Amino acid sequence: MQIKAGTKLFSAVCDTQIMVLRVPKDDLDVTCGGLPMQTEEAAEKSLISDNAGEGSLVGKRYVDKAETMEFLCTRGGEGNISVNGVALEIKQAKRLPSSD
């Protein structure tokens, strides 16, 4: 699926909702809880898989290892967010230089 910055994506298995902040121009398979995320909220949720992970946290930014993609979780849920089969991780704060 071709995704642009500013797009909202909704999980098909839980309450997770994310906003796309930065993505490459490639086709991406963004999933949550093992099922593809959708551009519209589903009326009925599918069953979440047993290996859904620890879930997504509201207000956290999720990135890939190279930080070429970035998503903001606007509503948390039970499923983990993955892109092309690789789980995203929470973006860590960067250390500021000391003022000494």
Q: What total of structural domains would you count in the chain?
A: 1
Q: Dump pLDDT digits (tens) for 89-99.
A: 999 988 888 87
Tell me the pTM: 0.84
Report yes or no on 3 lying in a domain: no
Q: Is residue 61 part of a domain?
A: yes
Question: Can you list the residues of the chain whose pLDDT is less than 50?
Answer: none
Residue 97 lies in a domain: no
DSSP letter assigned to residue 49 = P
pLDDT value, residue 20? 95
Percent of the chain with pLDDT over 90: 53
CB atoms within 10 A of CB 62: 22
- 21 C-beta neighbours (distance < 10 Å), count: 16
Q: Where are the beta strands (DSSP E) in the chain?
A: 8-10, 17-22, 30-32, 35-36, 61-63, 70-75, 81-83, 86-87, 89-90
- Domain range holding 75? 8-90
pLDDT of residue 33: 85
